[in-house]
């Protein structure tokens, strides 16, 4: 789907457990400028409900599971994240909704820019109107 993709990270596995390294610009296709994590979310809550003009992000379910609905004006997909060695890349102009957080789950987000509220599009009609796919520019 446009501006999205599943990424598989390396796993170093031995009798002591598993370790997954994630390096900025190597495993992640951008320089990581910000990290945040979402946790303590009740199972009936939907978060996100926005897109970004510039921001690139990779979402990783570090523990538990969470569903991510990714949408463009013409496409929609739901992806369940549950594997800490897997990331979901979401680029600019993709609408996202996070829901069905399992009890005790933690969603880690790696982001290409510092927090900037001006980069958000939180209104779905505005998102469709401003979307370059909709304007036929790409």
- Burial category of 87 from C-beta neighbours within 10 Å (exposed 0-12, middle 13-18, buried 19 and up): buried
Give me the least distance between CB of 114 and ligand TYD, in Å please: 8
User: What distance in Å separates the CA atoms of residue 90 and residue 96, rounded to the nearest whole number?
Assistant: 8
CB of 51 to ligand TYD, least distance (A): 11
Binding mask 35-74 for ligand TYD (x = CB under 6 A): -x-x--------xx-x------------------------
CB 109 within 8 A of CB 59: yes
| Residue 49 Cβ vs ligand TYD, minimum distance, rounded to whole Å | 7
CA 124/CA 102 separation, integer angstroms? 26
Residue 71, number of CB atoms within 10 A of its CB: 19
Annotated catalytic residue 50? yes
Q: Does 113 bind ligand TYD (CB under 6 A)?
A: no
Interacting residues toward ligand TYD by CB under 6 A: 34, 36, 38, 47-48, 50, 115
Active-site residue list: 50
């Amino acid at each position: 789907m446009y501006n999205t993709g599943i990424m598989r990270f390396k796993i170093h596995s031995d009798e002591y457990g598993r370790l997954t390294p994630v390096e900025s610009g190597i495993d992640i296709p951008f320089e990581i400028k910000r990290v945040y994590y979402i946790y303590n979310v009740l199972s009936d809550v939907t978060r996100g409900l926005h897109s970004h003009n510039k921001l690139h992000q990779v979402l990783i379910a570090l523990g538990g599971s969470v569903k991510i609905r990714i949408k463009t004006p013409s496409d929609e997909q739901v992806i369940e994240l549950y594997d800490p060695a897997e990331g979901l890349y979401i680029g600019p102009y993709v609408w996202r909704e996070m829901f069905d957080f399992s009890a005790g789950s933690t969603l880690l987000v790696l982001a290409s820019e510092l927090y900037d509220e001006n980069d958000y599009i939180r209104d779905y009609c505005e998102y469709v109107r401003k979307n370059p796919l909709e304007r036929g520019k790409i």
